[in-house]
């Protein structure tokens, strides 16, 4: 019965996608979390999967993780852009209701790392948030890929699974705000193609005046494969974000590049900064006017 509902749900989503004149070639699939695994609960809405069957595939999956309280559908313009570049894209619904900065005044240096671990793996390590393994980011992601391979067999999803698990070397993991820290943590756990950070991470211990220690721990993905796009006027404090990124990238003083929409980017940089006014700053890194920055962050 679940399989029948799943197929019908996808067909409806595809109809909506084909009706959009500007993106007629883009396929958008909306998948209810519980349809991938009955132990998984919906938090905000369906998982999203996007690709362009007419684009030349670059054989990479962009796994995007939204920020606090966000529904996966909220960043659709980002997904469509990456799909147009030949990426398969997925974004999952997950437990993201506790904002990262709720831990900013913790005196326990491990608090941020435990928070990330609990949400990503479902380990019972945090006193601030409880997520069981079935509802963890990793299980939600894996079960979504398995479902896509089975029910969208011509979609090319099979190259992103190996022995039933994500083929991490073909995955670019990115995230915005809270999601940026989750993306970075996953990059520590697995050797991914690269990590794209948007407006974060916020894992700074205010009362201890330092970034969370997990940011400096050895990880599977080389530090040179981490890239960040920040905003100078971000209300979440760009100085803390830069300090966190410096730890992730193992750079004493990260070389940042001020960017403008549409301007060509030359040289070797890992951190980019715009100067959008404070009111719009935090979300500005996901604005399609900055596709020049996103494209550079994905270049080999």
Give 3's pLDDT tier (boundaries 50, 70, 90): very low
State residue 13's pLDDT score: 42
Q: List the chain domain ranges.
A: 2-298
State residue 138's pLDDT score: 98
Q: What is the pLDDT of residues 84-129, one digit of tens each?
A: 999 999 999 999 999 999 999 999 999 999 999 999 999 999 999 9
**CA atoms of 213 and 203, how far apart (whole Å):** 9
CATH fold for domain 2-298:
Rossmann fold (3.40.50)
Largest CA distance in the chain: 56
State residue 137's pLDDT score: 98
Q: Is the pLDDT of residue 221 over 90?
A: yes
**Share of residues in the chain with pLDDT > 70 (%):** 92
Q: What is the pLDDT of residues 171-190, one digit of tens each?
A: 999 999 999 999 999 999 99
Please give the average per-residue pLDDT across 276-297, as a whole number. 97
Q: Is the pLDDT of residue 288 over 80?
A: yes
**CA atoms of 54 and 155, how far apart (whole Å):** 11
In this predicted model, which residue has the larger pLDDT, 246 or 253?
246
| Sign, Cα dihedral of 111, 239, 267, 299 | positive
Read off the pTM.
0.92
Element (H, E) at 36: helix 33-36
State residue 254's pLDDT score: 78
Q: What is the pLDDT of residues 8-31, one digit of tens each?
A: 334 334 332 333 334 458 999 999
Contacts 24+ apart (CB under 8 A), 264-271: 264/292, 265/292, 265/293, 265/296, 269/296, 270/224, 270/226, 270/227, 270/228, 270/245, 271/227, 271/228, 271/229, 271/230, 271/242, 271/245
State residue 14's pLDDT score: 37
State residue 16's pLDDT score: 29
**CA atoms of 49 and 169, how far apart (whole Å):** 19
State residue 15's pLDDT score: 30
Query: Which DSSP string corresponds to 174-186?
Result: EEETHHHHHHHHH
State residue 253's pLDDT score: 81
**Share of residues in the chain with pLDDT > 90 (%):** 90
Count Cα neighbours of 179 within 13 Å in the Cβ-side half-sphere.
Answer: 26
Mean residue pLDDT of the chain comes to 92
Q: What is the pLDDT of residues 133-164, one digit of tens each?
A: 999 999 999 999 999 999 999 999 999 999 99
Give 252's pLDDT tier (boundaries 50, 70, 90): confident
User: If you search the block for the tokens 């999952």, which residue do you land on?
Assistant: 92
Q: Is the pLDDT of residue 283 over 70?
A: yes
State residue 24's pLDDT score: 54
State residue 126's pLDDT score: 97
DSSP H stretches of helix in 190-272: 238-249
Spatial contact of 66 and 179, defined as CB atoms under 8 Å apart: yes
């Amino acid at each position: 019965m679940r399989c029948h509902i799943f197929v019908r749900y996808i067909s409806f989503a595809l109809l909506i996608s084909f009706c959009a004149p500007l993106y007629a070639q883009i396929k958008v699939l909306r998948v209810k979390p519980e349809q991938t695994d009955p132990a998984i609960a919906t938090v905000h809405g369906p998982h999203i999967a996007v690709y362009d069957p007419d684009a030349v595939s670059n054989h990479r999956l962009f796994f995007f993780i939204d920020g606090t309280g966000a529904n996966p559908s909220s960043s659709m313009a980002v997904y469509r852009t990456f799909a147009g570049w030949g990426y398969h894209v997925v974004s999952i619904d997950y437990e993201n209701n506790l904002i990262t900065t709720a831990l900013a005044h913790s005196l326990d240096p491990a608090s941020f790392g435990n928070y990330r671990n609990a949400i990503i793996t479902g380990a019972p390590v945090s006193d601030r948030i409880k997520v069981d393994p079935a509802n963890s980011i990793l299980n939600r992601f894996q079960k979504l890929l398995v479902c896509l391979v089975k029910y969208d067999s011509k979609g090319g999803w099979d190259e992103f699974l190996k022995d039933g698990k994500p083929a991490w070397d073909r995955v670019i993991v990115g995230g915005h705000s809270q999601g940026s820290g989750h993306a970075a943590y996953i990059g520590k756990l697995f050797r991914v193609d690269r990590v794209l950070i948007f407006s974060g991470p916020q894992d700074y211990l205010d009362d201890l005046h330092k970034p969370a220690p997990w940011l400096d721990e050895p990880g599977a993905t080389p530090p040179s494969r981490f890239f960040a796009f920040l905003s100078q006027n971000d209300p979440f404090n760009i100085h803390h974000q830069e300090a966190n990124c410096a730890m992730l990238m193992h750079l004493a003083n990260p070389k940042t590049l001020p960017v403008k929409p549409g301007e060509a980017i030359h040289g070797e940089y890992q951190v980019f900064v715009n100067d959008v006014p404070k009111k719009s700053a935090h979300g500005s890194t996901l604005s399609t006017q900055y596709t020049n920055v996103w494209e550079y962050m994905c270049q080999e």
